[in-house]
Amino acid sequence: MKYLTLLLIGITLSACTSTAQLPANNNLYEEIGGQQTLSKVFGLALTRIYNDPIIGHHFTGVPKSHLRKHLTAQTCELIGGPCVYQGKDMVDVHTDHNITDKEFFILVEYVQGAMRDIGLTVEQENQILQKLAPLKGQIVYR
C-alpha cells in the first residue's frame, strides 16, 4: 500500500511538471508577434490618446513617434522581449503632470482597445496589462 501511494504521488508530480514546462523560447513577446505587434498596438492607441479631450493635453509637444518608440521598447522588455528601455525614469517624466487615476485608466482603456483591435486574445491583453500595472504608482499624482 505504501508503495502504491508513493507511485501515485510520483505520477501526479511528474504530470504536473511535464505540463507546466514550456519550450525555452516560448514567451509572451514571441507569442504576440514581437516588437512589430507592440508597435502597432501603441501606434493605434496613441492616435486615440492624442485626440482624447480629457488626456490628450498631457502629450502636447511630445512627438507620437518618440512616445511610440519608448512605449514599445518598455513593454517589449517587460514582457520578455530582447528590447532594453532607454527612456527617462517614469517618475521624472510624470512629475508635475498631476495625472489622475481617471486619466490613467482612460489611457489603459485605449491601450487595451488597441490590443483587442489588432487581434490579441483577452489572456494576452491581461498578461501585458499585468506587466504594465506596477508603473501606475510612478505615473499617477506626480
DSSP code of residue 140: B
70 is in an annotated binding site: yes
Cβ atoms 74, 128 nearer than 8 A: no
Cβ atoms 103, 58 nearer than 8 A: yes
94 is in an annotated binding site: yes
Tell me how far apart the alpha carbons of residues 65 and 73 are, in angstroms, rounded to a whole number. 12
How large is the greatest C-alpha to C-alpha distance in the chain, in angstroms? 74
Name the packing angle between helices 64-78 and 34-50 (round to 10°): 130
Residues tagged in the binding site annotation for heme:
70, 94
- Residue numbers in the known binding site are 70, 94
